[in-house]
Amino acid sequence: MTAAPGTGVGAAEVAARTRAFIRDVVIPAEPPAGVTLDAETRRDLQARARAAGVFAPHVPVALGGLGLPLTEWSPVFQEAGYSPIGPAVLNCMAPDEGNMLLLERIATDEQRERFLAPLAAGATRSCFAMTEPHPGAGSDPAALSTSARQVDGGWVLDGEKRFISGADEADFAIVMARTPELGDDAATLFLVAMDAPGVELGHAIRTLETAISGGHPHVRYAGVRVADADVLGTPGQAFRHAQVRLGPARLTHCMRWLGLARRAQDTALDRVRTREMFGSPLGELGIAQGLLADSEIDLASSAALIDWAARELERDARAGATASSIAKVHVSEAVGRVIDRAVQLCGGDGVTLELPLLSFLNEVRPFRVYDGSSETHRWAIARRAVSRRRREIQDGAAPLDRPEGAR
Residue 346 has pLDDT above 60, yes or no: yes
Other CB atoms within 10 A of residue 376 CB: 17
Mean pLDDT, residues 233-253 taken together: 94
Report d(CA 340, CA 230) in Å as an integer: 45
Give the three-class secondary structure for 219: strand
Confidence of residue 4 (pLDDT cuts 50, 70, 90): low
- What CA–CA distance (Å, rounded) separates 196 from 96? 20
Cβ atoms within 10 Å, residue 168: 18
pLDDT band for 41, please (50, 70, 90 cuts): very high
Confidence of residue 279 (pLDDT cuts 50, 70, 90): confident
Q: Read out DSSP for 308-359?
A: HHHHHHHH-HHHHHHHHHHHHHHHHHHHHHHHHHHHHHTHHHHTSTTSSHHH
Integer Cα distance of 203 and 241 in angstroms: 29
Query: Averaged over 292-312, what is the pLDDT?
Result: 98
Total-model pTM: 0.93
pLDDT of residue 8: 56
Tally of CB atoms within 10 A around 399:
8
Q: Which residues have CB under 8 Å from 385's CB, separation 6+? A: none
pLDDT at 40 over 80: yes
Q: At what angle do helices 11-21 and 39-52 cross, to 10 degrees?
A: 140
Q: How far apart are CA 51 and CA 109, in angstroms?
A: 28
Task: Read off the pLDDT of each residue in 84-89 and give the average, rounded to a whole number.
Answer: 98
Report d(CA 266, CA 261) in Å as an integer.
9
Within 13 Å, how many C-alpha atoms sit on residue 81's CB side? 26
- pLDDT tens, 94-132? 999 999 999 999 999 999 999 999 999 999 999 999 999
* Phi and psi at residue 313, to the nearest 5°: -65, -40
Domain 11-93: assigned CATH number: 1.10.540.10
* pLDDT range class, residue 3, cuts 50, 70, 90: low
C-alpha Rg value of the chain to the nearest Å: 22
What is the pLDDT at residue 107? 98
Give span(s): CATH 1.20.140.10, the chain: 239-394
| Percent of the chain topping pLDDT 70 | 95
Pairing status of strand 126-129 against strand 172-178: parallel
Q: Annotate 243-280 with b (16+ C-beta within 10 A) or e (fewer).
A: bbbbbbbbbbbbbbbbbbbbbbbebbbebbeeeeeeee
CA dihedral 369, 370, 372, 376 (to 10 degrees): 10
Question: How far apart are alpha carbons 175 and 187 in whole angstroms?
Answer: 10
Mean pLDDT (the chain) is 93
Mean pLDDT of 55-65: 96
Closest CA to 157 of 127, 196, 186: 196
CA distance to 65, 78, 100, 173, 234, per residue, from 59 (Å): 4, 17, 8, 19, 23
Q: Where in the chain is the domain with CATH 2.40.110.10?
A: 126-235
Question: Which segments of the chain belong to CATH 1.10.540.10?
Answer: 11-93
Task: Name the architecture of domain 126-235.
Answer: Beta Barrel (2.40)
pLDDT at 403 over 70: no
Among 3.90.1150.10, 1.20.140.10, 3.40.50.300, 3.40.640.10, what is the CATH number of 239-394?
1.20.140.10
- C-alpha dist (Å) from residue 117 to 37, 64, 65, 76, 114: 23, 9, 10, 22, 7
Tell me the β-bridge partners of 232: 189
pLDDT grade for 345, boundaries at 50, 70 and 90: very high
Q: What average pLDDT does this structure show over 132-138? A: 88
* Amino acid 7: pLDDT: 59
Residue 404 has pLDDT above 70, yes or no: no
The DSSP 8-state label assigned to residue 174 in this structure reads E
Indicate if the pLDDT at residue 400 is higher than 60: yes
Q: Is the pLDDT confidence value at 6 over 70?
A: no
E strands, 91-227, in order: 126-129, 147-151, 154-161, 172-178, 187-193, 199-201, 219-227
Whether 381 shows a pLDDT value over 90: the answer reads yes
Per-residue confidence band for 205, with pLDDT thresholds at 50, 70 and 90: very high
pLDDT recorded at residue 324: 96
- pLDDT score for 284: 81
Q: Which DSSP symbol is given to 363?
A: H
170-199 confidence digits (pLDDT tens): 999 999 999 999 998 899 999 999 999 999
How far is Cα of residue 350 from the mean position of the Cα atoms in its chain?
27
Residue-wise pLDDT for 356-372, tens only, equals 999 999 999 999 999 99
Give the CA distances from residue 46 to residues 52, 89, 92, 397, in Å, rounded to whole numbers and listed in that order: 10, 5, 11, 53
